[in-house]
Structure 1
Amino acid sequence: MFYHDGGKLQYPVKVEKPNPVFARALQQAIGGIQGEIRVCLQYLFQAWGSRGPTKYRDMLLETGTEEIAHIEMLCTAVALNLEGAPTEQDEAAKDPMIAAVMGGMEFQHVLTTAMAAMPIDSSGVPFNCSHVYASGNGAADMLANAMAESTGRMLACQLYKMTDDPGMKDMLKFMIARDIMHQNQWLAAWEDMGGRSNHPIPKKNR
């Protein structure tokens, strides 16, 4: 089902000036409740449980697979923002780990991963699947997906405003555009299923 193309990212990721604090902020887009792990798993589990027309299952699988590529891009961005980043905020802070914490870095980036991304949010909380929604009702799931892409786009826009790095802005512009496309895609699928005529969800009490 998945295809990997020899180390190529879906979209180029470049960082001109590493920023460990921004690396921590990017973790929210990886492992936060608005992040890419959440939507990736949400789409895949909806697809694996789908009993409706195969076109919806295929759409979910294809989009879930694309979200893996977005996780890869964000993890690359975190690593590049940590690579060679200044950790010394104060000349008195000789210990690089202490300096890293003083500078607002994620402690686990220093201690656990050798300066790489993790499946955590910007507060260091591990991703736990509590916001992965796969109800088994196609119409309900499409609305949940449109909402997930909306909050994901809000986060990407906030991250865009936080950085002045041209490479990071370029990557985030791409991700914002994909979020818009996915919002429209899920709403179009909801309309194709009957839109408002499907409401209330479910139609019958069980």
Structure 2
Amino acid sequence: MIYQLLKGATIQELKDAGLAPHYAQHDHGLFPTDASGVPFTVAGIGSLGDPVTDLHEDLAAEQKARATYEHLMNLTDDPDLIEPLKFLRQREVIHFQRFGEALDDVQNELNRKKYY
């Protein structure tokens, strides 16, 4: 979508959109940042090695992604952007459901009586 949005954009259009700093370093290329321009880092990805804790982290990440896609959809009226965003949002819902099922399986296994 980034390439689709920037395709054919002139330098003046990029400046007018507040993207001059991005252009200076990355031209029309993709460079993952948050909405404030802070570059992506894995520092916020948590893993404790505990399956219950890690699955809760995964569930939260899917909900955050779903909300972000909804926010992006609210910022545009372009159907060529809204349709892929709807697909991506639905994918996050499915991921959330699958992580929830995995959490149920893990908790059932942890609660199962063990015989040795």
Counterparts of 2:20 and 2:94 in 1: how far apart (Å)?
32
- Cα 1:190–1:80, aligned 2, differ >3 Å: closer, same or farther? same
Equivalent positions of 1:115-154 (< 5 A) are 115-154=28-67
Write the deviation string for residues 58-88 of structure 1: whole angstroms up to 9, x where unpaired.
xxxxxxxxxxxxxxxxxxx11110112355x
Match in the other structure for 1:104: 18
Provide the secondary structure at the position in 1 that maps to 2:54.
helix
Judged with a 3 Å threshold, the aligned counterparts in structure 2 of structure 1 residues 187 and 142 are, in CA distance, closer, same or farther, namely same
Distance across 1 between alignment mates of 2:75 and 2:68:
11
Q: Which segments of 5 or more consecutive residues in structure 2 lack a partner in the other structure? A: 112-116
Tell me the matched-pair count: 110
Please tell me the residue identity of whatever aligns with 2:14: A
The answer to which structure, 1 or 2, has the higher relative contact order (CA under 8 A, 6+ apart) is 1
Unaligned runs of 5+ in 1: 1-76, 88-95, 199-206
CA contact (8 A) 1:78 1:117 kept: yes
TM-score, normalised relative to structure 1: 0.49
C-alpha contact 1:160 1:172 (8 A) present in aligned 2:
yes
TM-score w.r.t. structure 2 length? 0.84
Per the alignment, residue 81 of structure 2 pairs with: 168
Q: Secondary structure at the match of 2:26?
A: coil
- Residue pair 1:139, 1:190 contacting (<8 A) in 2 also: yes
Name the Cα RMSD after superposition: 1.9
